[in-house]
């Protein structure tokens, strides 16, 4: 790292620390830039380059994480949460949650209340799966080694939902993909909740053809934010639907496989399996 890179790194680290300590004051771009002795324009560009997101987004992420802890752990009211997060009112809290979490504060606090979820366990070429669906589509799919832990992870994802162990038609259509029944692909529906950024990343992953690979940097460029590789990585790491949203098709720019929440060995096997399926016969 050059001397200038070291200076820039320290400035951004100082800015991040300042935002974390003063987020309740909702500091402006100018105020944070002044703390690290940069012009607002230069600071905006430098922060985005090093942190993978804008100062405003980072402030929003920090604020919403604090608000989430108040709503879930302390069971604070929406008004109390808005006040304790430094927001001017519940309407700003609402807008913040819609932007970052893809749901309202009340929906987050309810943890999936009134949501009916069917789930089942299945086998795949790459190990056991738990798959869950609402009336709208697949909301969760994950590889697992221990069934009780798999169910616990699902319940933690939707703590107040009603669960019914049932293999429904939505799940069956999704599982057909492992039987090479590609005709069922148009019938696979997804019911996802996430931030606008996460949904954009997941949608981009769906466009990677089977048997092909992409890098984090490639995805960042496709969404028009080439410096956001780290933020892209975080969104990919939060993918709630294994295999159907093909985060396994993302590798590092060096060509190495990279991480996978369900194990690198499984990721390698999936990539090899897909490559074999798309090779010309003979």
The per-residue DSSP string of 185-224 comes to: GGG--B-----HHHHHHHHHHTTSPTT--EEHHHHHHHTT
E strand map for 69-171:
116-124, 127-133, 138-144, 162-165
Q: Is 24:86 a contact under the CB 8 Å cutoff? A: yes
**Token representation of residue 51:** 């942190």
Pairing verdict, β 214-215 and 250-251: parallel
Structure tokens belonging to residue 174? 């999704």
Q: Phi and psi for 210 in degrees, rounded to 5?
A: -60, 135
Q: Which of 170, 247, 251, 271 is catalytic?
A: 247
Q: For residues 29 and 43, is the Cβ–Cβ distance under 8 A?
A: yes
Distance CA 154, CA 168 (A): 17
CA 269 – CA 264 distance, rounded (Å): 9
Per-residue tokens: 1: 């790292």
Whether the Cβ atoms of residue 12 and residue 5 lie closer than 8 Å to each other:
no
The tokens describing 261, both together, are: 């929440």
247 a catalytic residue: yes
Catalytic residues: 247
């Amino acid at each position: 790292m050059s001397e200038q890179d070291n200076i820039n790194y320290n400035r951004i680290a100082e800015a991040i620390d300042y935002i974390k300590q003063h987020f309740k004051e909702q500091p402006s771009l100018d105020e944070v830039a002044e703390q690290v002795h940069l012009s607002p324009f230069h600071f905006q560009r430098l922060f985005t380059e090093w942190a993978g997101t804008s100062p405003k987004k980072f402030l929003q992420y920090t604020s919403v994480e604090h608000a989430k802890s108040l709503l879930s752990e302390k069971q604070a009211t929406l008004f109390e949460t808005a006040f304790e997060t430094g927001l001017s009112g519940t309407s700003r809290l609402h807008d913040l949650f819609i932007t970052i979490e893809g749901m309202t504060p009340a929906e987050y606090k309810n943890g999936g209340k009134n949501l009916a979820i069917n789930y089942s366990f299945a086998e795949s070429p790459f190990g056991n799966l738990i798959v869950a669906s609402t009336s709208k589509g697949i909301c969760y799919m994950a590889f697992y080694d221990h069934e009780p832990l798999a169910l616990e992870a699902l319940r933690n994802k939707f703590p107040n939902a009603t669960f019914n162990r049932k293999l429904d038609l939505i799940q069956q259509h999704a599982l057909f993909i492992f039987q090479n029944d590609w005709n069922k692909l148009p019938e696979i529906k997804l019911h996802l909740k996430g931030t606008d950024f996460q949904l954009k990343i997941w949608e981009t992953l769906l466009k990677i053809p089977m048997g092909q690979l992409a890098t984090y940097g490639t995805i960042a460029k496709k969404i028009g934010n080439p410096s956001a590789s780290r933020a892209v990585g975080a969104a990919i790491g939060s993918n709630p639907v294994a295999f159907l949203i093909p985060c396994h098709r993302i590798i590092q720019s060096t060509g190495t496989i990279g991480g996978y929440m369900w194990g690198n060995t499984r990721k390698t096997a999936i990539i090899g399996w897909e490559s074999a399926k798309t090779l010309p016969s003979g």
